[in-house]
């Protein structure tokens, strides 16, 4: 009976070493695979009491191989020529989706199954989706194309049909005559100039800047700003601008008579305007020129007829889309011909209570299991997910030197187990020969 037991034990050893050999071979084959996590093999013995004369004695009766993949082992982060490649330094995983086919022309359809990967070697496909070299599509939070507001639900990030959003207005510059140094025959003059301004979500609004001449001092003017379609959007605090007899700005004071900025010659004359759109406060500086200078906003010394000055916004309203770039905080930014960048979306990362409990699938990806626990998903850096390295990839965690050495050990152990089978066979042959 013990000879037969040695045969089954040796066969178990052969199977266990075959598993080890397979894992080592897979590691070596994937030594250059981006985001690959190497597997290790652990061995455990099987114990049987059935062959011992005393139930208190245990007899080792075989061996089993257990494959373990350390998904949290950090691979070396290496520079890449791919500007869309990103590598995770930490415990997070990219949230990715799998394509299920073309639902309609030019539009992919995706499986509801959520996948996770460390392969951050992404590129834009023909429809603008960001997909890695294993065919998994990057998920994240897409920004609204009109307002730039970041969504709160995971979706496949897409960088097609990106249109430039006008930038938030922070400064208005006024130039030209607002009136005369003398009172018109009809009484104090009033001049209103309008300009289009943009809020933080690229919404357009009309801003009116009104100049009203003092009825007793033609060199003193009150300036106010308003939105004709929303009376509560613009701060209504009036400011007083006093000119000198040459028509140049002499001073700017608030409603309390306090100077706004410096009254020294050569100082910038600027009036603060506060706007509030979509619940967000917005500060706009109305630049009317320079104290003592007649090069911007002035009074005419030759005519009593009011004119309309020009009002120029610093908002950039157009740009040609040229591509996208990745930021270390996970922001996917569109690049435009005017040098500006705007948010297209943000990469999501997930973490797990037991990441080693994830189930591996093809293409360096994983799915959640009861052993891994549920994914905790958020932006880069949240929930201990780590940081991102742009224009970089995470190398395979395969240790070629160690695995090649292990391959030799596995080969010798396999050979030794086959020797046990051969020896047991010879013993059985000898036993059978005894009765012949």
Ordered DSSP codes for 125-160: -TTSBEEETTSEEEEEEEBPTTT-PBPSS-EE-B-S
Short-list 213, 151, 153, CA closest to 182 = 213
The 10 Å CB-count burial string (b at 16+, else e) for 192-215 is ebebebbbbebeebebebbbbbee
Average pLDDT of the chain is 89
pLDDT-based confidence at 345, cuts 50/70/90? Answer: very high
Answer whether residue 54 shows pLDDT above 60: no
Contact 172/284 with Cβ under 8 angstroms?
A: yes
Distance of CA 273 to the CA centre of its chain: 33
Written as one string, the DSSP assignment of 195-259 is EEEE-TT--EEEEEEEEEE-SS-TTEEEEEEE-TT-TTSB----EEEEE-TTS-EEEEE-TTS-B
The predicted-structure confidence for 61-73, as pLDDT tens digits, reads as follows 788 888 888 888 8
Q: Which two tokens stand for residue 191?
A: 């001049």
Q: What is the DSSP letter of 306?
A: -
d(CA 255, CA 378): 48
Q: What is the pTM of this model?
A: 0.78
The predicted-structure confidence for 194-237, as pLDDT tens digits, reads as follows 999 999 999 999 999 999 999 999 999 999 999 999 989 998 78
Q: What pLDDT does 246 receive?
A: 92
Written as one string, the DSSP assignment of 366-399 is EE--TTT---EEEETTGGG--EEEETEEEPP---
The predicted-structure confidence for 303-342, as pLDDT tens digits, reads as follows 655 567 999 999 999 999 999 999 999 999 999 999 999 9
Most confident range, picked from 40-44, 137-141, 177-181: 137-141
């Amino acid at each position: 009976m013990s000879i037969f037991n040695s045969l089954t034990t040796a066969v178990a050893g052969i199977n266990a070493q075959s598993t080890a050999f397979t894992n080592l071979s897979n590691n070596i084959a994937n030594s250059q695979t981006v985001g690959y996590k190497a597997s290790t093999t652990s061995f455990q013995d099987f114990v049987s009491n059935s062959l011992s004369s005393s139930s208190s004695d245990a007899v080792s009766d075989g061996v089993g191989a257990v494959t373990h993949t350390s998904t949290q082992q950090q691979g070396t982060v290496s520079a890449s020529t791919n500007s869309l490649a990103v590598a995770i330094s930490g415990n997070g995983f990219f949230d990715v989706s799998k394509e299920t086919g073309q639902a309609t022309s030019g539009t992919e359809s995706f499986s509801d199954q959520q996948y996770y990967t460390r392969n951050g070697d992404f590129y834009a496909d023909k429809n603008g989706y960001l997909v890695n070299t294993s065919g998994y599509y990057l998920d994240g939070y897409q920004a609204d194309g009109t307002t730039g507001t970041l969504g709160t639900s995971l979706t496949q990030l897409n960088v097609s049909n990106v249109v430039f959003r006008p930038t938030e207005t922070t400064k208005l510059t006024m130039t030209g005559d607002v009136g005369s140094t003398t009172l018109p025959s009809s009484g104090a003059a009033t001049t209103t100039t309008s300009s289009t301004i943009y809020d933080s979500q690229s919404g357009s609004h009309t801003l009116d800047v009104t100049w009203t001449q003092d009825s007793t001092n033609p060199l003193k003017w009150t300036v106010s700003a308003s939105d004709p379609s929303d009376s509560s959007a613009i701060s209504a605090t009036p400011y007083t601008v006093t000119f000198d007899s040459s028509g140049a700005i002499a001073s700017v004071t608030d409603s309390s008579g306090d100077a706004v900025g410096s009254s020294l010659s050569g100082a910038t004359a600027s009036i603060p305007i506060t706007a509030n759109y979509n619940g967000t406060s917005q500060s706009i500086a109305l630049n009317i020129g320079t104290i003592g200078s007649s090069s911007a906003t002035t009074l005419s010394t030759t005519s009593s007829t009011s004119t309309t000055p020009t009002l120029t916004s610093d908002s950039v309203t157009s740009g040609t889309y040229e591509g996208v770039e990745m930021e270390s905080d996970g922001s996917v930014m569109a690049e435009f011909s005017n040098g500006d960048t705007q948010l297209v979306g943000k990469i999501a990362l997930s973490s797990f209570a037991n990441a080693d409990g994830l189930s591996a699938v093809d293409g360096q990806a994983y799915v959640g299991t009861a052993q891994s626990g549920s994914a905790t998903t958020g932006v880069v850096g949240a929930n201990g997910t780590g940081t991102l390295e742009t224009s970089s990839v995470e190398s395979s965690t395969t240790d070629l030197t160690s695995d090649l050495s292990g391959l030799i050990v596995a080969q010798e152990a396999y050979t030794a187990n086959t020797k046990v089978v051969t020896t047991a066979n010879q013993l059985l042959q000898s036993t059978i020969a005894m009765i012949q």
